[in-house]
Amino acid sequence: MGFATPTCPIAKRCGGCEWLAVPYPIQLRRKREAVVGLFSDLLDSGASEAAPGDVAIVGMEAPRGYRHKAATPFSPGKGGMIRSGFYERGTHRIVPCAACLAEDPRCRPILNDMARVAERLKIRAYDEDKGRGMLRHAVVRTGWRTEEGLLTVVTNGNTLAHGRELAEAVAEAAPLRLSVVQNINQRRTNAILGPTSKPLLGPGVMHDSLLGVTFEIGPTSFYQTNPEQTEALYRLAIDGARLEPGQTLLDAYCGIGTIGLCAAKAVDGVSVVGVERVEGAVADARRNARANGLGGRARFVCADATAYLADSKHNRTGFDVVVLDPPRAGATEAFLSACDASGCGRIVYVSCNPVTQRRDLDFLVGRGWLLESLTVVDMFPHTKHAETVAALRRR
């Protein structure tokens, strides 16, 4: 692998890519070693078919431009100027950024262009100390398999004067088909998005595809930011599930249904039940199932994953395989207990936090489950984060 180590003029101040100066092959080695170290006694025990040497890491061929989602805060500059970029590490001072090597190169210019158009239209940036001004943040998503994009303009109020003009001017200069949404956030907190959104231009959603399934993505939908590595992650999850026609898969913590729908598409005759607690994501999942002709085989439920699986009437549905992809805090003991009691033969655990995954695997191994494989996927090159996929079967 002949990787050139990239440099970034704002690396020291931005702090987003903390491993930028580390050559990529060494980053991969470090991430793999960190995961193997964390799981070493389990991998060396009779509860694992995988030995430490079997743990592979899936890195990127070209680890740049991988983030298909970018955001900027805005703040007032001198003479009506609008500052945009990244917060300097540990502060709310904005460091301007012309181009970010981790982002799809189309993202940052759209955000910066938006600031320039807003200055021209005399729209004021939000001053967080005074709680005054209109433009708070912007978030842009770009398609990987499509030429579509979605720009979310976060405002401190319902009425955005010149909103349509702003949207049209930014969309016209954008190198893809850009829909623009206004999101209203009047809370004085660090959360970027508020509860309500309305389209300013176009449909207010965009589409992207993973493993042959097309997903509609709204301004508040959870959708992985590195689609190339997401395909690798989902492929590992589907392979680890070893699904057969006629089987039923529970996709727990399913977001907009991406893993379950990709599994249903990959294996004919498999039925999927997805469970997710965010209502909007469940609505997206149902729409995505229908739009991909998978509505007859995929059902999505809005519920807490633990409450759903612990309820014996759902457990009687007879899941053959459970895939779970919980947030960083991991699953709950009650969820894992219900999984164990459900009679499913296989569990695939996708994790963005190997520490909580290790805790949860210890629980399952204590109930007699066997770790078949553990793989690391590098979703965020130049950072210390690692995602992992563990496949387990009942002994």
Instruction: Give residues in contact with ligand SAM (CB under 6 A).
Output: 222, 224, 253-255, 258-259, 275-278, 281, 304-305, 325-327, 352
Long-range contact list for 118-125, CB < 8 A, 24+ apart? 118/74, 118/82, 118/166, 119/80, 119/81, 119/82, 121/161, 121/162, 121/165, 121/166, 122/80, 122/162, 123/160, 123/161, 123/162, 123/166, 124/76, 124/80, 125/74, 125/75, 125/76, 125/77, 125/82, 125/83
253 annotated binding-site participant:
yes
Residue nearest ligand SAM, CB atom distance? 255
3-class DSSP assignment, residue 308: helix
Q: Are 351 and 357 in contact (CB under 8 A)?
A: yes
224 annotated binding-site participant:
yes
Residue 318 CB, nearest distance to ligand SAM (Å)? 21
3-class DSSP assignment, residue 133: coil
325 annotated binding-site participant:
yes
**Which is it for strands 387-394 and 346-351: parallel, antiparallel or unpaired?**
antiparallel
Phi, psi of 154 (to 5 degrees): -95, 125
Closest to 249 measured CA to CA, from 267, 236, 231: 267
Q: What distance in Å separates the CA atoms of residue 323 and residue 390, rounded to the nearest whole number?
A: 10
Q: Are 278 and 256 in contact (CB under 8 A)?
A: no
Among this protein's residues, is 352 annotated catalytic? yes
Residue 2 CB, nearest distance to ligand SAM (Å)? 32
Q: What distance in Å separates the CA atoms of residue 12 and residue 74, rounded to the nearest whole number?
A: 21
Residue of 14, 17, 254, 352 marked active site: 352
Residue 265 CB, nearest distance to ligand SAM (Å)? 15
Q: Which is nearer to ligand SAM, 108 or 265 (CB)?
A: 265
Token pair of 336 as six digits: 């894992």
**Which is it for strands 369-377 and 387-394: parallel, antiparallel or unpaired?**
antiparallel
Residue 288 CB, nearest distance to ligand SAM (Å)? 11
24 annotated binding-site participant:
no
Residue 209 CB, nearest distance to ligand SAM (Å)? 14
Catalytic site positions: 352
Binding residues: 224, 253, 276, 325
Binding residues for S-adenosyl-L-methionine: 224, 253, 276, 325
